[in-house]
């Protein structure tokens, strides 16, 4: 527990996604923290999703990294910082500045990011700083720069509410940007004429809001939007005035798309021609269109072309920068946008200046008073780890990201780090798959302890404020970087009094020699003293000095009347090749094989170092899974709840089978979240290929050829345990938190000689003290161990996947068990006093599928609102409402067990 601070509500910003919701955090005397949505924050107006609502459950110090370590042994800050500075300086002196690298994160605050970028580009003199945003936003950045001449997101969230048509491309908004999804759902409910189209190979929960779902074949998007451009031309939907006044290259883009009629598009996308036509007609006749896109677009070997194919359609119709209109790249991480502002990518310079531009380099170098300035792009993430592997990079510092889990070809990345002479990792937790390879591990301050700013998807800068003291020896990332910089001889340029001083420098640099030539200008926020910075309200950029709001058109949208950032002020259409070889080579599976699609689930965040701590968030989906279409499952001989091995030439994973008609035939979806910390084989990036988009360098994380086969388990097991169980030695395991302890899925390839031995190991009790039940005919074994009236462990073993209710068994860890009721645990079912709620759907109020089904079956509830009144489900964050609707429709459940 953190020492109890005074009880005071602090306004801050959510730690997770790019929606950037305002949060009210109130530390309580008992050490807990009450979390609520900030009603005054313009991103969420008081709403929070399931992850935001559960932030209070992720603040415990158990498992936190509290001290610097050197090869796992505790050391002090001075020793650690001296060593890091010395090793970086020595490597640079001996092998040159390009022999060192930083790999950073869109989860750093702007101030942290700013100083890391300044140190590498201005003082080390290399551009070898890249970030996990390379895996995330790089294609959008590159597409924006090609079209607009700058990395500008033209619109705002309000546009989604004002649009008459919202097109969602490769975005699972319901699960990944839940509060924006809810704003859209509310706007649609208020104005039912509003239409939504979802373009995603899977019928995700976001389909709930869609009037039309196009289950596009992997990477069919370039053809779909090139075809749309041709259709817009042939149906006279072009805004000729806009195109002539503000753009270049329309003819070439049209020529490239020219021959694509609807039949050709249907063939290239795997879609039904009638559905393609409905989408095209809807788009052509609706003026107010917003196209929201995310990782189904960016994470592709054609990502940048996908972005430009979309942007082309908005430029051609002049639907950009006006209320309810525009292409909208929605960001993933809380500070993906801030990272782009500070130029924390290998091919960018600070404050949206270009590394290739000599004038820009001069501005930045003079402003920093830097001894040098990187004059060419550094290595992008995938290349960077290749350079680590082949020894070109000898010293690397990883901050706020977990590449051994999240990078493609993750085993290769692990090997590269293992071979690297000096690896530094700054993280907030004690153990991650990446920290294993660190020579020096540094304890960073976590959400709730750190102070600074983040910028959300609609360019709104918000403060993250501390409401907890720094635990142990944890320090903010900006401080750690500055201390190393000072020790590398750059004391003058890195002696900031705090984040306010760094933000001030960042704001001044954005205005330096700008005069409207660059989109990113927050000169109006320069000169804030520490108090004014602390009080800063959420502010959308641009905010030039002297202006109350943004650019020429008087609001904070861009480009309604041109004003692009290419030298001639015009936007560029980008001709996109429809049958580019990369598309064919990248994605199409060999006969019999499948295309591996990867992404997110509702209640977990990335590599689960924080959401994995929350029992509530772990209740929704507790195990890594592969979602397959029933036809593929049947062909491969896989049944529901079997285990499957997924294999590519780079690696393999073992995950649970989920058979679902929501999946496109020929593809398999596996979430990205599981790591070596909580599963034996859930680290899916071990399989994912590292082919990248030629323009952005972003890897195609959503289309790897794989084979899927049965994991030939001789036995399956499920256990709940009060203490963290030992997982070493299981051929398969997946471990998750519950309210009373842990739940563990296990399986073995060889027959179990002595099942009771396993029960002893998992409960820590001798077999004489364990209740046991053996069914010789079925080969099922069940055990329950008690300490007084408390359950210590319940273990279920079977030759088939274990059919016990997970939620019911986990709840047994929190109940008192009178002696005569203990055998119920062996029977695997509740008595009248403890009915089985079924797999959890609503994580805020822990409402399970059985309860919802029962309410519907009894006639007491017929809609989502009635379920809410009856059971409270769906009434807090609302993230589960689409699933509740699915249950009511009887349309098949997402796997939640």
Ligand X SMILES: Nc1nc2c(c(=O)[nH]1)N[C@H]1C(S)=C(S)[C@@H](COP(=O)(O)OP(=O)(O)OC[C@H]3O[C@@H](n4cnc5c(=O)[nH]c(N)nc54)[C@H](O)[C@@H]3O)O[C@H]1N2
Which stretches of the chain bind ligand SF4, using CB under 6 A? 14, 16-17, 19-21, 44, 48-49, 51-52, 177-179
Q: Report residue 533 as tokens.
A: 């910075």
Q: Which residue has the tokens 């660190």?
A: 438
Q: Measured at the alpha carbon of residue 558, what is the angle toward residues 552 and 562, in degrees to the nearest 5?
A: 75
Nearer to ligand SF4, 12 or 395 (CB): 12
CB of 851 to ligand X, least distance (A): 23
Q: Which residue is nearest to ligand SF4 (CB)?
A: 52
* Residue 757: strand, helix, or coil: helix
CB of 57 to ligand SF4, least distance (A): 14
Cα R_g (the chain), whole angstroms? 27
CB of 688 to ligand X, least distance (A): 5
Residue 816 has what DSSP assignment? B
- Choose from ligand SF4, ligand X, Mo ion, none: what does 846 bind? Cβ within 5-8 Å by kind: none
Nearer to ligand X, 17 or 856 (CB): 17
Q: Are 533 and 544 in contact (CB under 8 A)?
A: no
CB of 257 to ligand X, least distance (A): 18
- Choose from ligand SF4, Mo ion, ligand X, none: what does 48 bind? Cβ within 5-8 Å by kind: ligand SF4
Nearer to ligand X, 108 or 243 (CB): 108
Nearer to ligand X, 578 or 713 (CB): 578
* Residue 427: strand, helix, or coil: strand
Nearer to Mo ion, 336 or 871 (CB): 336
- Choose from Mo ion, ligand SF4, ligand X, none: what does 688 bind? Cβ within 5-8 Å by kind: ligand X
Buried b vs exposed e over 618-643: b needs ≥16 C-beta within 10 Å? Answer: bbbbbbbbbbbbeebbeebebeebbb
| Residue 296 in the binding site for Mo ion (CB under 5 A) | no
- Choose from ligand X, ligand SF4, Mo ion, none: what does 44 bind? Cβ within 5-8 Å by kind: ligand SF4
Instruction: Identify the H or E element spanning 520.
Output: none
Q: Report residue 541 as tokens.
A: 């950029």
Nearer to ligand SF4, 19 or 813 (CB): 19
- Choose from ligand X, ligand SF4, Mo ion, none: what does 169 bind? Cβ within 5-8 Å by kind: ligand X
Nearer to Mo ion, 404 or 744 (CB): 404
- Choose from ligand X, ligand SF4, Mo ion, none: what does 20 bind? Cβ within 5-8 Å by kind: ligand SF4
Nearer to ligand X, 405 or 638 (CB): 405
- Choose from ligand SF4, ligand X, Mo ion, none: what does 596 bind? Cβ within 5-8 Å by kind: none
Q: Report residue 690 as tokens.
A: 């590292």
Nearer to ligand X, 399 or 758 (CB): 399
CB of 333 to ligand SF4, least distance (A): 10
- The C-alpha atoms of residue 319 and residue 336 are separated, in whole angstroms, by 25
- Choose from ligand X, Mo ion, ligand SF4, none: what does 14 bind? Cβ within 5-8 Å by kind: ligand SF4
Nearer to ligand X, 559 or 625 (CB): 625
- Choose from Mo ion, ligand X, ligand SF4, none: what does 157 bind? Cβ within 5-8 Å by kind: none
- The C-alpha atoms of residue 493 and residue 214 are separated, in whole angstroms, by 53
- Choose from Mo ion, ligand X, ligand SF4, none: what does 19 bind? Cβ within 5-8 Å by kind: ligand SF4
Among 201, 215, 332, 344, binds Mo ion (CB under 5 A): 332
Residue 490 has what DSSP assignment? I
- The C-alpha atoms of residue 341 and residue 565 are separated, in whole angstroms, by 15
CB of 24 to ligand SF4, least distance (A): 12
| Residue 136 in the binding site for Mo ion (CB under 5 A) | yes
Q: Name the site residues for ligand X (rule: CB under 6 A).
A: 17, 51, 105, 107, 132, 135-136, 169-172, 175-176, 199-202, 204, 216, 218-219, 221, 294-296, 299-300, 332-333, 399-403, 405-406, 426-429, 432, 444, 446, 450, 477, 597-600, 602, 604-607, 609, 672, 684-685, 688, 701-702
Nearer to Mo ion, 333 or 811 (CB): 333
Q: Which residue has the tokens 């209070």?
A: 56
How many beta carbons lie within 10 A of that of residue 356, not counting itself? Answer: 13
Query: Judging by DSSP bridges, how do beta strands 539-540 and 460-464 pair with one another?
Result: antiparallel
| Residue 825 in the binding site for Mo ion (CB under 5 A) | no
Nearer to ligand X, 159 or 427 (CB): 427
CB of 800 to ligand X, least distance (A): 30
How many beta carbons lie within 10 A of that of residue 767, not counting itself? Answer: 15
- The C-alpha atoms of residue 90 and residue 308 are separated, in whole angstroms, by 44
- Choose from ligand SF4, ligand X, Mo ion, none: what does 444 bind? Cβ within 5-8 Å by kind: ligand X
- The C-alpha atoms of residue 521 and residue 514 are separated, in whole angstroms, by 7
Q: Are 65 and 430 in contact (CB under 8 A)?
A: yes
* Residue 858: strand, helix, or coil: coil
Of 361, 285, 284, 289, give the one whose Cα is nearest residue 325.
289
Nearer to ligand SF4, 15 or 384 (CB): 15
Nearer to Mo ion, 331 or 680 (CB): 331
Q: Which residue has the tokens 């782009």?
A: 340
Q: Report residue 663 as tokens.
A: 């999946």
CB of 424 to ligand X, least distance (A): 11
CB of 539 to ligand SF4, least distance (A): 17
Q: Are 13 and 22 in contact (CB under 8 A)?
A: yes
- Choose from ligand SF4, Mo ion, ligand X, none: what does 479 bind? Cβ within 5-8 Å by kind: none
| φ, ψ dihedrals at 871, nearest 5° | -115, -5
- The C-alpha atoms of residue 854 and residue 236 are separated, in whole angstroms, by 53
Which window, 285-293, 326-334, 474-482, 842-850, contacts Mo ion (CB under 5 A)? 326-334
- The C-alpha atoms of residue 776 and residue 478 are separated, in whole angstroms, by 62
Which window, 4-12, 329-337, 541-549, 568-576, contacts Mo ion (CB under 5 A)? 329-337
Q: Report residue 133 as tokens.
A: 């945003």
What one-character-per-residue DSSP string does 294-317 give? Answer: -HHHHSSTTHHHHHHHHHHHHHHT
Q: How far is CA 699 from CA 14, 35, 143, in A?
A: 27, 36, 15
Helices 77-95 and 477-485 cross at an angle (nearest 10°) of 50
CB of 749 to ligand X, least distance (A): 26
- The C-alpha atoms of residue 627 and residue 658 are separated, in whole angstroms, by 5
CB of 614 to ligand SF4, least distance (A): 13
List interacting residues with Mo ion (CB under 5 A).
136, 332
């Amino acid at each position: 527990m953190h020492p109890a601070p005074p009880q005071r509500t602090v306004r801050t910003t959510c730690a997770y996604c790019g929606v950037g919701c305002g949060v009210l955090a109130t530390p309580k005397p008992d050490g807990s923290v009450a979390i609520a949505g900030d009603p005054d924050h313009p991103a969420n107006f008081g709403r929070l999703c399931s992850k935001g609502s559960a932030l209070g459950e992720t603040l415990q110090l158990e498992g936190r990294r509290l001290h610097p370590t050197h090869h796992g042994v505790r050391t002090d800050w001075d020793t650690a910082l001296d060593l890091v500075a010395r090793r970086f300086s020595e490597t640079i002196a001996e092998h040159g500045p390009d022999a060192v690298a930083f790999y950073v994160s869109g989860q750093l605050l702007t101030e942290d990011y700013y100083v890391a970028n300044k140190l590498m580009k201005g003082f080390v003199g290399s551009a070898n700083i890249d970030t996990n945003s390379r895996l995330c936003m790089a294609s959008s950045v590159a597409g924006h720069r090609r079209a607009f001449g700058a990395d500008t997101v033209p619109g705002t969230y309000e546009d989604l509410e004002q649009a008459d048509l919202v097109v969602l491309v490769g975005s699972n908004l319901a699960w990944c940007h839940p509060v924006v999804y809810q704003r859209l759902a509310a706007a649609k409910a208020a104005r039912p004429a509003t239409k939504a189209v979802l373009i995603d190979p899977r019928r995700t929960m976001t389909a709930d809001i869609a009037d039309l779902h196009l289950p596009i074949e992997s990477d069919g998007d370039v053809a779909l939007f090139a075809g749309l451009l041709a259709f817009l031309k042939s149906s006279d939907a072009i805004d000729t005035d806009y195109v002539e006044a503000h753009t270049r290259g329309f003819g070439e883009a049209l020529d490239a798309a020219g021959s694509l009629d609807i039949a050709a598009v249907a063939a290239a996308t795997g879609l039904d021609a009638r559905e393609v036509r409905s989408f095209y007609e809807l788009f052509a006749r609706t003026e107010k269109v917003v196209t929201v896109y995310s990782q189904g677009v960016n994470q592709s070997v054609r990502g940048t072309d996908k972005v430009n194919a979309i942007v082309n359609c908005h430029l051609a119709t002049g639907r950009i920068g006006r209320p309810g209109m525009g292409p909208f790249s929605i960001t993933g991480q809380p500070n993906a946008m801030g990272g782009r502002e500070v130029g924390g990518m290998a091919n960018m310079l600070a404050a949206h200046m270009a590394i290739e531009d000599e004038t820009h380099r001069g501005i930045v170098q003079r402003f920093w008073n830097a001894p040098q300035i990187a004059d060419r792009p550094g290595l992008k993430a995938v290349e960077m780890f290749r350079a680590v592997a082949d020894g070109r990079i000898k010293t690397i510092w990883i901050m706020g990201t977990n590449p051994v889990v999240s990078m493609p070809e993750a085993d290769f990345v692990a090997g590269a780090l293992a071979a690297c002479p000096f690896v530094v990792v700054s993280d907030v937790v004690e153990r991650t798959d990446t920290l294993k390879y660190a020579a020096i591990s540094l304890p960073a301050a976590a959400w709730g302890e750190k102070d600074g700013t983040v910028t959300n998807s609609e360019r709104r800068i918000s403060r993250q404020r501390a409401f907890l003291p720094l635990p142990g020896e944890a320090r903010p990332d900006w401080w750690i970087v500055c201390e190393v910089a000072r020790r590398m001889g750059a004391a003058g340029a890195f002696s900031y009094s705090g984040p306010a001083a760094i933000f001030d420098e960042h704001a001044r640099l954005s205005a330096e020699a700008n005069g409207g030539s660059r989109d990113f200008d927050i000169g109006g926020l320069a000169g804030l003293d520490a108090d004014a910075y602390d009080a800063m309200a959420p502010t959308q950029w641009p905010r030039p000095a002297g202006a109350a709001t943004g650019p020429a058109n008087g609001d904070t949208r861009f480009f309604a009347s041109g004003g692009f950032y290419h030298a001639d002020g015009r936007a560029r259409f980008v001709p996109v090749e429809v049958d580019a070889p990369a598309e064919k080579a990248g994605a199409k599976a060999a006969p019999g094989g499948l295309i591996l699609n990867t992404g997110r689930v509702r209640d977990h965040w990335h590599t689960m170092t924080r959401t994995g701590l929350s029992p509530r968030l772990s209740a929704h989906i507790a195990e890594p899974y592969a979602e397959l279409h029933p036809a593929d499952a049947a062909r491969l001989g896989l049944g529901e709840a079997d285990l499957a091995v997924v294999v590519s030439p780079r690696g393999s994973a073992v995950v649970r089978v989920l058979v679902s008609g929501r999946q496109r035939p020929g593809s398999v979806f596996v979430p990205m979240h599981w790591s070596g910390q909580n599963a034996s084989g859930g680290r899916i990036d071990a399989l994912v290929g590292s082919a990248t988009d030629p323009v952005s360098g972003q890897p195609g994380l959503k289309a790897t050829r794989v084979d899927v086969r049965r994991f030939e388990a001789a036995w399956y097991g499920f256990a709940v345990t009060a203490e963290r169980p030992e997982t070493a030695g299981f051929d398969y395991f997946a471990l998750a938190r519950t309210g009373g302890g842990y739940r563990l899925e296990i399986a073995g390839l060889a027959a179990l000689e002595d099942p009771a031995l396993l029960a002893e190991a998992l409960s820590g009790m001798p077999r004489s003290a364990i209740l046991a039940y053996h069914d010789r005919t079925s080969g099922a074994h069940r055990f329950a161990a008690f300490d007084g009236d408390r359950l210590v462990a319940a273990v279920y073993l079977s030759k088939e996947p274990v059919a016990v209710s997970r939620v019911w068994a986990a709840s047994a860890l929190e109940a008192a068990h009178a002696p005569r009721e203990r055998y119920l645990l062996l029977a695997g079912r509740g008595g009248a006093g403890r009915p089985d709620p079924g797999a959890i759907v609503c994580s805020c109020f822990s409402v399970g599928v059985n309860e919802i089904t029962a309410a519907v079956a009894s006639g007491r509830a017929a809609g989502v609102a009635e379920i809410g009144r009856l059971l409270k489900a769906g009434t807090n964050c609302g993230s589960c409402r689409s699933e509740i609707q699915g249950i009511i429709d009887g349309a098949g459940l997402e796997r939640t067990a």
